[in-house]
Structure 1
């Protein structure tokens, strides 16, 4: 019999700098007023529900609120997130980035999302541009 007391039960895969575990925020808290978090480092955690299949340059993290998520995005090659991360818990520290879309880009994005979900989309129902938010991480930890 081999003693394993004191050994961690799950290995973590580290990307970039270590995450800041001192002040984790719920994704739902951030998304309720995202502009309040643009100029400060934040740490989130959640389940990985999507990973870029081409270059591993983004992951989508599920929120604690149903049907809500936040995308983590890096420049190609800065960090390469593995497809095997899907379904794992992730913790990420970084800065929230706001991308303001014009009306045409908003319609195109919403049409794309509807198509992926298999839903019909009427672009005439969209009358105002929207903003999307992404976390640009300095560090990410994926727990297995």
Structure 2
């Protein structure tokens, strides 16, 4: 699947025209993993864009050891408006400082990726 992986920049362009994409593969570097049970992670791409990944139906969890690794994710992507409450919730999960949490004041549009497979490439 690696050769079909697209950059999140391309993903973003594609999502402009359709709200949801099925069966896409994206390549990036893991910057954050949920401490609790590896139920989500943040991936950073070549152009320093970050996006948020959840595991499909919580069917599998990712080890926190994935942090810093390059991975290829397979799954579906969509654009979503994330509420202030939800953003704060994730910021708390990620152990962000109170100042960072307080700085969240408006909903933001985000690419949400729901992964059904992850492959480490380095």
Bin the TM-score by the shorter chain. Answer: 0.7 to 0.9
Could you tell me how far apart the structure 2 residues matched to 1:140 and 1:108 are? 25
CA apart distance, 1:95: 0.5
Q: How does 1:36-115 map to 2 (within 5 A)?
A: 36=17, 38-66=20-48, 68-75=49-56, 77-101=58-82, 105-106=83-84, 109=87
Deviation >6 Å, runs of 4+: none
Q: Per the alignment, in what secondary structure is the counterpart of residue 137 of structure 1?
A: strand
Instruction: Return the TM-score normalized by structure 1.
Output: 0.63
Question: Deviations for 1:94-128, whole angstroms, at most 9, x for unmatched residues?
Answer: 10033334xxx337737x85x936457384xx4xx
Query: Which of 89, 113, 121 is equivalent to 1:135?
Result: 113
CA apart distance, 1:76: 6.3
CA apart distance, 1:75: 4.8
Unaligned ranges ≥5, structure 1: 1-19
Corresponding residue of 2:9: 28
Could you tell me how far apart the structure 1 residues matched to 2:114 and 2:60 are? 11
Q: Is the 1:55–1:80 Cα contact (8 Å) retained in structure 2?
A: yes
Q: Is the 1:90–1:140 Cα contact (8 Å) retained in structure 2?
A: yes
Computing the radius of gyration over CA atoms, which structure comes out larger, 1 or 2? 1
Aligned length: 116
1:116 counterpart = 2:117: no
Structure with the largest fraction of helix: 2
Could you tell me how far apart the structure 1 residues matched to 2:14 and 2:7 are? 12
CA apart distance, 1:34: 2.6
